[in-house]
Amino acid sequence: MTDVFIIGAGIHPFGRTPERTGLQQGVYAVRQALAEAGLDWRDMQFAYGGSDAAGKADTMVSELGLTGIQFINVANGCATGGSAMFGAYATIKSGEFDLGIAIGFDKHPRGAFDPKPAEWGLPDWYGETGLMLTTQFFAMKIQRYMATYGITSETLAAVAEKAYANGVLTDHAWRREAVDAETILNATMVSDPLTKFMFCAPAEGAVALIFASEKRARQLGLPTVRLRAAAVRSRPPGSFEVFAPALDITRGPSPTVIASRAAYEMAGVAPEDIQVAQLQDTESGAEIMHMAENGFCADGDQQAWIAEGRTRIDGRLPVNTDGGCLACGEPIGASGLRQVYENYRQLTGQAGARQVPGSPRLGYSHVYGAPGVSAVAIVER
């Protein structure tokens, strides 16, 4: 079995692009990745791609070229990008192919997501009476976490302030203006304790990553990172997830905890070895809780970590260096690959104004979504 390398990356800027469909944004990202690597679409032996709400990825071949490529569509909700990457990882690792691409893209209408209860195996009354909102879940998860571990609203605001500050430095970010903590705290309350500026918004964007075997990567001589681990996990008993009419009285770990442990084990590294991390920040509280769920600190330590600036770009463990979902928005099918794109840029020293100092070698990314799925990837320069 060969090691798996990421040898090229492309991104369509996140945010809103009325003149391009989600699929066209995907094509844009593929072309950028290929051009940067000096490769042609004909060189791609396989593709995994998907979106949650913007169409079928394999129809991109009409624009990219009818090469007969093995193109597999991935539809795995919030873990679509992570699943596409896992497909690419396993395909190369097995030796079946040695050069291919993973693509994630999306385009959502404005406003909160509007899920249909039946599609989630839930009765109609759950949606009819106004209980089926992702925003409520995130608010109630952090509300209890704050009460249990002494996290303050000021810490929620500091996380969002950092996200927007990093977004200012990021070409592909949507929100590129700084917002100060006081404005964040005093903004319209969306779902207590979270204000408007503490939530990400559904958006648009696309990412493409090119994968190669070790031999092929060496031949091509491009900037590379080694994919040390890629793990996707669904929910264990007793976890607290989006769209849950009830929770088991015996509480259990989250899918993030088990995906994270699996990834550390695959990579043979520990949380303290990680030098830059991209963590799912659907809202400020999610980043805080995910710091602990991914093993970076104990529950409650985030209060001190954030006050000391440890998760800023110049801190000990920079988190969400491109502004995360808060500054980039949330195109469901693309977010997971955006995180890996960002780690690729950081580890290959191509992150420009937001470059983490000290030439980081190990990057960690984590995506989480409904109905309780997490995908973790660890990359190494």
Residues that bind other proteins (CB under 8 A): 111-112, 114-117, 123-133, 135-136, 139-141, 143-144, 147, 188-193, 244-249
Comparing CB distances to other proteins, the nearer of 41 and 137 is 137
Comparing CB distances to other proteins, the nearer of 68 and 130 is 130
d(CA 246, CA 264): 31
Contacts 24+ apart (CB under 8 A), 129-133: 131/245, 132/243, 133/191
> Is residue 114 packed enough to be buried (19+ CB in 10 Å), middle (13-18) or exposed (0-12)?
exposed
Comparing CB distances to other proteins, the nearer of 116 and 218 is 116
Q: How many residues in total does the chain contain?
A: 381
d(CA 279, CA 302): 14
Shortest CB 141 distance to other proteins, Å: 7
Comparing CB distances to other proteins, the nearer of 77 and 315 is 77
Shortest CB 194 distance to other proteins, Å: 8
Q: Fill in the DSSP letter of residue 9.
A: E
Shortest CB 247 distance to other proteins, Å: 4
Comparing CB distances to other proteins, the nearer of 114 and 265 is 114
Shortest CB 1 distance to other proteins, Å: 39
CA distances, 196 to each of 187, 231, 290, 330 (Å): 6, 32, 20, 15
CA distances, 288 to each of 212, 284, 306 (Å): 34, 7, 9
Q: What is the DSSP string of 147-202?
A: HHHT--HHHHHHHHHHHHHHHHT-TT-S--S---HHHHHHSPEEETTEEGGGB--B
Comparing CB distances to other proteins, the nearer of 140 and 168 is 140
Shortest CB 95 distance to other proteins, Å: 42
d(CA 323, CA 308): 18
Number of neighbouring beta carbons within 10 Å of residue 3: 15
SS3 299: coil
Shortest CB 167 distance to other proteins, Å: 24
- Residue 280: both structure tokens together: 């799912």
Comparing CB distances to other proteins, the nearer of 247 and 304 is 247
Shortest CB 137 distance to other proteins, Å: 9
